[in-house]
Structure 1
Amino acid sequence: MHRTATTLADGRELVYFDREPGAARDLVDRRPLEPAASLSETRLDPVLGEWVTVAAHRQQRTYHPPAGECPLCPSRDGRLSEIPAADYEVAVFENRFPSLATGAADHVAARDEPLHTLRPGDGRCEVVCFTSDHDASFADLDEPGARLVLDAWTDRTAALSALPGVRQVYCFENRGTEIGVTLAHPHGQIYAFPFVPSRTTRMIARAEAHRARTGRNLFEDLLAVERESPERLVLRGEHWTAFVPFAARWPYEVHLYPHRRVPDLTALDEAERAEFPGLYLDLLRRFDALFPAEPGAAPNRTPYISAWHQAPKEGGAELALHLELFTIRRAPGKLKYLAGVESGLDAFVTDVSPESAAERLRGAASA
């Protein structure tokens, strides 16, 4: 993997990732951009003890532009985009409309009042462009292309974890307008949080309780049990296993674990990195095969969220790196909405049993 870093016209960082050195990458952003001020702030919910990010400036972000005006496509034919080069393999840059940004403290003052705790939204949000092909999807990448994205995720995890004040790095992809994606170009995001999100905090607490009770690691025990439960297994390689969790929240949800417990992407070894692309692409293509397109229609692309759970910089010794992939589609033309009990109480009700979801995913490879 070869990386080339540059700076955009408004001071944001851009990094090109290539399989081999020597690719022509334009490093000059010719757009007349002024630096954007981040007004992000984080507020502590006194009832739940959870941080909420307030980023009202994001209302101005680009929303469903025509394909010819996509800001994630390369700069070609006189049209300038976020990517100055005329082509690229993988490109990562700071979001122009970030939820969290370095320098927020220059514009937002901290507040410590009874029941009103507020901090500047210091952190960083990056956009990861998986390919220059606007009409592609992650599942359309070949294995070397998927490996390059993994290398980019790893590079950015290391770089962002080193920033002052960052406590956790979260790599994820939203795909599909049903999920809320506003740019059709195949891309993901990385958030560098100044706090440990509540989902991670709960996982750590459960793992620590399991350690105190059994003397063992929760995630190692969970993986061992699921690897022996064929009714929920989807894929199994030499170094990774994908399974539908016993208490899956979503209609079709798969967790992908390396067999060796590691805290984050930077700790994977070469054998684990080499096997991941093939297994992950297989999973994504199985998701697309769940709901076949009508004859003569465009190929189906199942909406999904793909998320890497990584240990925070401190206090996450019991956490294990794993990827969570799920779709909100429960049947052809039907979505799983988070209504009263899910949104109001965080009490999920699923419409598909985990065992039948795993069976469908195992059979989806031949669809």
Structure 2
Amino acid sequence: PGPGHDLRQGQPDAASFPRSAWLAAARRALVAAPNEAFGPGDPQGRRELRTVLADYLARARGVRTDPDRIVVCSGFAHALRLLFDGATPVLPPAEHGPLAVEAYGLGFHRGLLAAAGVTTVPLPIDERGARTGELAQRPDVRTALLTPAHQFPTGGPLHPGRRAAVVDWARGRGGLVLEDDYDGEFRYDRQPVGAVQGLDPERVVYLGSTSKSLTPALRLGWMVLPDHLVDRALAAKGEREGWASALDQLTLAEFIDSGGYDRHVRRMRRRYRDRRDQLVAALAARAPHVEVSGIAAGLHAVLRLEPGTERSVLKAAAYRGLAVDGLADYRHPAIGEEAMPAVDGLVVGYATPPDHAYPAALDALCDILPPCA
């Protein structure tokens, strides 16, 4: 049996997938689809999707691109594999050397990179995001992977000065910034900050997907590439599309072009903002000593705990039947205490529980939090 209460991060609200609107878009897309759409797929992705993506990303995220610089993939993990793994990776590890990553991130992604032979170098994080100035101390590093809009999982955005500085670093080093636009569309206290890619499209690879905005079940993502990397990406994918369904691509293109995607994102932005507000209100009432760190954005929040209490809180959560993640699980194993002291905390995903179960999940969370010291 699953947990009694599920507050794990990484899952959008499955019940909110726009089934009727998606079905209507699929019908329109199938009626309008040319016959060749039902043949072998283009590894770059359907032109219809790349065209509407270029327009949408420019309008919503400030991305500077055109359809010929977009390569469709099946999600962020697939993009990493195309960039670093396989017989003809876009960025061969032997050629590009170590990859700088943020000191906190998904272990799954670090494992994927390690399996591809990529050495990852952790960048410390503070209240202004990744300390990109420290890249200058690593002359062997030419590529950095960042989550500038909403650092995962700690929750802060990359400071404007550091955004500009990391692009300058990439220019001077002849390197690249890989921009994982995690939660870029879900900012609740202000308009979302534009993508770093807009500062220099030839030095930033922009990576996005539908995993959080729609559903991870769709398996659609995209890479916006500098001109000189497009052919490499297509060589890495192979002669035919083997990952992303052409019919799903056509449906997503129609869904975006008809305005359905914008309406869905606006609706989910309100829904997730309300969920976060409920979490903050519950903590203010029952555990006011617990800090919610990071900005009002995304599908999760980090609760800061007193030093030395994270493991005991997680044990109490398991006893209570509450599934929640500890912040330590996301810490890069190579980052030392002298570079960045460890912080105890919980990573709370507030998008997953259905409406009827969310209040009880918040009660269970407040029950396992330690009292004020």
Return the TM-score normalized by structure 2: 0.28
Q: Which has the higher strand share?
A: 1
Determine which structure has greater relative contact order: mean sequence separation of CA pairs < 8 Å that are 6+ residues apart, divided by chain length: 2
